[in-house]
Structure 1
Amino acid sequence: MEALLIYIAKSCSLMLFFYCVYYFLLRKETFFNNNRWFLLFGLIVSAVLPLLNYTRVIWIDAPALGNSIQSSLMEIPEKEVSTFNWSHTILLLYGIGFLAFIIKFAIDFYSLNSIIKGKKIQQQADFKFIDVSENIAPFSYFEYIVYNSSLYTSSELENIIEHEKVHSDQNHTVDVLISRLFSIIFWFNPIIWLYKKAITQNLEFIADSEAAKKLQDKKSYQYTLLKITTHENCVAITNHFYQSLIKKRIVMLNKNQSKKKNSWKYYTVIPALAAFVLLFQIEVIAKEKPQTIKETTGETKAVDIYKIHKGSTDAELSEIKNKLKEIHSVNFEVSDIKRDAKNNLTSIKVDVTRGKQQAQSIQTGDQTIKDFGVLIITDQKGNKTIGIQTFEDSKSSKAKTGVSNNITTLTSDDDSKKSTDSKIIITNNNQNTKIETNVNSNSNTSTKTNSNTNSTISTIVTTDDNDAVTKITTSNGKTNVAFSNGSSKFSNTQESPLIIVDGKEMPSTFDLEDLKAQDIKSMSVFKGINAVSKYGEKGSNGVIEIETRK
């Protein structure tokens, strides 16, 4: 809905701009044919230009992998308040107006067909003349020229026919239909009705000017214009001889030709359109540069992230596949691709393999996918570990049951490694996050999400052979924990949460650094209403429950 409103705002603004240029700069000039194409060009540009977007990519430094637990606890999502659905109301009102004008358009076509159908047609060159008995103003519709000869003298009829021949020969009916179509689509915009009137009036200026060149008596032609004003019945969606503002037509008929140097006025739209494109039609997309992580032991690891988002095209996915293969010798396969009407991804399955390492991400459902990326972690010795990283904000974790099922796994092929690694199991249930650590001799990292949510959690675990340094990062925007050299690093930059160790409430001066990583059996994080309902007002800043191995 927001995209539609933005499109309408841009389109209506362009229509207003072109109409103002015509009204203030071109309306009094005698460049009638140029004005015709200018007005039509304005309508087409107003409809098409807002749809054309240029994407510019800028590269930014990637943020740090971890934020403090405390910072994430402060990000308690606000309760959604049900409000009146204005989108449906606006669409309903627009639909009613659109349907009314469509019906009016159909009635006009029926009226036109009833006049032409069954009448005797006289073919002359490319024109089809129909002499009717109804008291209606003369009009032309494509090659048809309709009039009532009994109402005019021979000289008046000659003037009328010359005028209508110009309309028919130059296909002015197309202009009338285009302006009518735009007035139906943008019926709510008052500018389109002024724009439609300007197009119709300019077509009459063209026909008057061309017809007067072929007639010897220009005054007789002007008298014919005045006489036709007595006919009140006009057929819609046609070029009819009668038009209001007869005085303006006569004034323009007698006006001297405009000087060619005044044609500079048409070029005033160029800088304005260029500014419109630069300001509104260039979309800037920020992409993160590959990260380099330095651990506490001094070892440097490069982390390359190949991001996939809802707008990723098949060509971009193919480019990621080629880069992963060429640079990292990683096999990247995608399947189960589905897209919505806007060509955004709603379903995708990604399988990444390198030797015995496997990583997989599955997202399915009616909604667009959540951003995620393929992770390649390279250590100082050149060993590579693959994984999946998600990019999720706190609001998007409010998923509906059954919308999608995302699974991310990461396994290591280095079975010969003898260091003490950790196995991490993370479960996400609304605002609760639980992290359990168990000693395991093999390097094995697994991350999963609850099948009833729409978020994916990625975990990276690194271990140092000598110092048993373990680093855990969950990318669901909720929890980040780091254990280094047997100590837990914790930031106290905001109000401290309530800390419970083995069922006992710790004082506000308690420092998590007093706990060693190997002594922690499990850690649970509670936020928002869950924390308050369990611990009362003391849990308003969040609660961390820690169970030790002792």
Structure 2
Amino acid sequence: MEAIFIYIAKSSGLVVLFYFAYYFLLRKETFFNSNRWFLLTGLVTSLILPFVVYTKIVWINPVPVSTVSYPQNFVQEAIQEESFEINWHYILLSIYCIGFLMLIIKFAADFYSLNSVLKGKKIQQLADFKFVDVSENIAPFSYFDYIVYNSSMYTEAELENIIEHEKVHSNQNHTIDVLISRVFCVLFWFNPVIWLYKKAILQNLEFIADSEAAKKISDKKAYQYTLLKITTHESCVAITNHFYQSLIKKRIVMLNKNQSKKRNSWKYYAILPALVAFVFLFQIKTVAQEKKEAQEISKNPTAVDVYKIKKNTTDQELKEFTENLKQNHNVDVVISNLKRNTKNELTAIKVDIQKGTGEDQTIEIEGNEPIKSCGIVITSENGSKKINVITDGGMDKPLVVGDNLILNEKSNPVKVCLALPITPPVPPTPPAFPTGPMPQAPAPDMSKMPKPPVPPNNPKDKVAMSKFGKEMAEFEKKMESFEPDMSAYEKQIEEIMSKREAIFEKEMEKYEVAMEKFNADMEKFTEQIEIKYGKDSKQYEINMKQFEKDMKVFEKNMKLHEKEMKKMEKESQKS
């Protein structure tokens, strides 16, 4: 179950990564079709990339081995009592399922609403499109090859503009994008960014339709007036492409915006370093393998003392084990987590070893099968002593110490934990986007703002239309007087933001270098943890909890960074 939550977390993180890349780099560009495929690629990548895992094999030397002796000691400790714990995994899964089911029901209700609109209506087939003229007061929309509208609400010219817009949605299969975004909202409903992602997809589809429809319409201004006219509707169908959305201002701005320069297309590739960093941080699995089964500890040790534990070692022998180590070598040994089967054979044991010099080591074996041989080998040479823990059935392998040949039995894999402190690397702190006061925007006198003329009810009235044309020309001329102040203010804002972006880019370059070093240190740290502790040991779990704590600090720093970016964007928009 934990693997499921890890997958969901990784997938959600990739969705966030693609959204912020779109929001800060691509949102204001006019590469609408490229933006469409970028957003869809982000969703597909978030599903597939967490499954891509690179396995890295690290070859290590086996634990040094020495002489054999007979089993000797033990102090039995009580088995730890089980305590009641809340399984948060099941609670989180239950909450997720409740939200998932509610959105599935909402999804089904939207399909039912769409069917209600289309059911029993007269359908007019023209070329590749099916036109449906309804009587309900709903926003015009398209659904695959269906184009639905209420002709009584619009003039002939306005209806032509609307249909050209909806034809673009239908021709380019925008309904598929809408459905995909809805499915992802159902799957990742708990992630607030996925809802913003869906909004970005729908908004970009409107930009595409507006841009393509405007190319086919001779009167571009009339198309914009159509957008302004359609401001309120009683209802709209959720899983379709609506002609009207609450983004009319942005759509008109994008419709009149100059085409982005081709050199800005580099922004699409800015996501690649982040994806590479994601793979190196989270998608590399390190596997440790021993080069050979047995080794010599020392060619000519002065003295070798071996303390061996087998599956049938008695409590009395284990007691002598600890007493002899303390008396002969000043080594403190504590035995815990002791378990036996019905045959009184050892199936689990933990041996904590501490030497007076502060050299700590641990042998930990857990399982349902009887343990294989393990123990401690102490070599003494020139007054110095060395402690070696032997696991993996190593005490029963053919071992060579000096000229002595020891026992030979088959081995059984066990877990070994070396309780030596391993300090995880500290992630660098991301830079904050430079902030500061922004110039005050020119505030036009709203009382002096001209009001647009009202078009005549009868477009065929030539006198009224001629008068309306003159009024429109006069209105446009008055509106032009407000443009110089806003253009100067926009240029001033762009200069300030350009300088801040240059400073921020330099800091980001330093941060990326620091992140590369952090990634390399993380690889070494992961290798050390898995090699020395093993993935299933309690010591490994303790160390990984500390690592997770450090990573939460890193994530907190990243959230602060994102917050700064949002604050900067908000200030810019406010200005």
Aligned to 1:43: 43
**TM-superposed deviation, 1:116:** 1.3
Between the aligned partners of 1:111 and 1:70, the Cα distance in structure 2 is 79
C-alpha deviations, 1:68-126, integer Å up to 9, x for none? 97999799975543211111111110000000000000000011111112221111111
Between the aligned partners of 2:185 and 2:268, the Cα distance in structure 1 is 24
Letter of the 1:427 counterpart: E
Q: Is contact 2:294–2:399 with CA below 8 Å preserved after alignment?
A: no
Between the aligned partners of 2:117 and 2:340, the Cα distance in structure 1 is 61
Aligned to 1:7: 7
Between the aligned partners of 1:86 and 1:44, the Cα distance in structure 2 is 29
Between the aligned partners of 2:59 and 2:265, the Cα distance in structure 1 is 45
Letter of the 1:275 counterpart: A
Query: Does residue 453 in structure 1 map to residue 371 in structure 2?
Result: no
Letter of the 2:192 counterpart: P
Aligned length: 344
Indicate which of 194, 203, 206 corresponds to 1:204: 206
Between the aligned partners of 2:341 and 2:98, the Cα distance in structure 1 is 33
Between the aligned partners of 1:61 and 1:195, the Cα distance in structure 2 is 50
C-alpha deviations, 1:419-468, integer Å up to 9, x for none? xxxxxx993366699xxxxxxxxxxxxxxx99x9345536636599x989
Aligned to 1:18: 18
Distance 1:89 1:65, change over 3 A: farther
Distance 1:77 1:29, change over 3 A: farther
Aligned to 1:163: 165
Secondary structure class of the residue paired with 2:294: strand
Q: Is contact 2:65–2:294 with CA below 8 Å preserved after alignment?
A: no
Q: Is contact 1:32–1:202 with CA below 8 Å preserved after alignment?
A: yes
Aligned to 2:255: 253
Highest RCO, 1 vs 2 (Cα 8 Å, sep ≥ 6): 2
C-alpha deviations, 1:213-236, integer Å up to 9, x for none? 100111111111122222131101
Indicate which of 231, 243, 251 corresponds to 1:229: 231
Aligned to 1:172: 174
Aligned to 1:152: 154
Between the aligned partners of 1:478 and 1:194, the Cα distance in structure 2 is 47
Aligned to 1:99: 101
Between the aligned partners of 1:463 and 1:223, the Cα distance in structure 2 is 91
Query: Does residue 53 in structure 1 map to residue 59 in structure 2?
Result: no
Indicate which of 262, 265, 268 corresponds to 1:263: 265
Between the aligned partners of 1:202 and 1:13, the Cα distance in structure 2 is 22
Indicate which of 193, 196, 209 corresponds to 1:194: 196
Secondary structure class of the residue paired with 1:230: coil
Pairwise CA RMSD: 3.7
- Note the 1:487-502 alignment, pairs <5 A: none
Aligned to 2:120: 118
Between the aligned partners of 1:169 and 1:32, the Cα distance in structure 2 is 16
Distance 1:470 1:262, change over 3 A: closer
Aligned to 1:183: 185
Structure 2 unaligned residues grouped into runs of 5+ = 301-335, 352-364, 374-392, 417-575
**TM-superposed deviation, 1:293:** 3.8
Q: Is contact 1:398–1:453 with CA below 8 Å preserved after alignment?
A: no
Secondary structure class of the residue paired with 1:56: strand
Between the aligned partners of 2:279 and 2:415, the Cα distance in structure 1 is 39
Letter of the 1:23 counterpart: Y
Q: Is contact 2:179–2:239 with CA below 8 Å preserved after alignment?
A: yes
Distance 1:431 1:283, change over 3 A: closer
Distance 1:476 1:259, change over 3 A: closer
Aligned to 2:345: 427
- Note the 1:305-344 alignment, pairs <5 A: none
Distance 1:265 1:77, change over 3 A: farther
**TM-superposed deviation, 1:6:** 1.8
Letter of the 2:55 counterpart: T
Indicate which of 81, 85, 88 corresponds to 2:87: 85
**TM-superposed deviation, 1:195:** 0.4
Aligned to 2:28: 28
Secondary structure class of the residue paired with 2:62: coil
Structure 1 length-normalised TM: 0.56
Aligned to 2:140: 138
Secondary structure class of the residue paired with 1:107: helix
Between the aligned partners of 2:141 and 2:107, the Cα distance in structure 1 is 17
Q: Is contact 1:159–1:221 with CA below 8 Å preserved after alignment?
A: yes
User: Deviation above 2 Å: which 4+ runs of structure 1?
Assistant: 64-82, 291-298, 397-401, 425-433, 452-464, 466-479
Between the aligned partners of 1:167 and 1:478, the Cα distance in structure 2 is 60
C-alpha deviations, 1:470-527, integer Å up to 9, x for none? 4779757599xxxxxxxxxxxxxxxxxxxxxxxxxxxxxxxxxxxxxxxxxxxxxxxx
Q: Is contact 1:55–1:283 with CA below 8 Å preserved after alignment?
A: yes
Secondary structure class of the residue paired with 1:157: helix
**TM-superposed deviation, 1:52:** 0.9
Between the aligned partners of 1:6 and 1:155, the Cα distance in structure 2 is 54
Distance 1:80 1:218, change over 3 A: same
Between the aligned partners of 1:157 and 1:60, the Cα distance in structure 2 is 74
**TM-superposed deviation, 1:186:** 0.2
Aligned to 2:465: none
Between the aligned partners of 2:279 and 2:250, the Cα distance in structure 1 is 37
Q: Is contact 2:64–2:297 with CA below 8 Å preserved after alignment?
A: no
C-alpha deviations, 1:319-359, integer Å up to 9, x for none? xxxxxxxxxxxxxxxxxxxxxxxxxxxxxxxxxxxxxxxxx
Structure 2 length-normalised TM: 0.54
Distance 1:55 1:97, change over 3 A: same
Aligned to 1:518: none
**TM-superposed deviation, 1:182:** 0.3
Q: Is contact 1:399–1:453 with CA below 8 Å preserved after alignment?
A: no
Q: Is contact 1:65–1:473 with CA below 8 Å preserved after alignment?
A: no
Between the aligned partners of 2:143 and 2:341, the Cα distance in structure 1 is 57
Between the aligned partners of 1:475 and 1:297, the Cα distance in structure 2 is 27
Distance 1:429 1:28, change over 3 A: closer
Identity of matched residues, % = 62
Between the aligned partners of 2:231 and 2:341, the Cα distance in structure 1 is 66
Secondary structure class of the residue paired with 1:226: helix
Aligned to 1:127: 129
Comparing both structures, which one devotes a greater share of its residues to helix?
Answer: 2
Q: Is contact 2:62–2:294 with CA below 8 Å preserved after alignment?
A: no
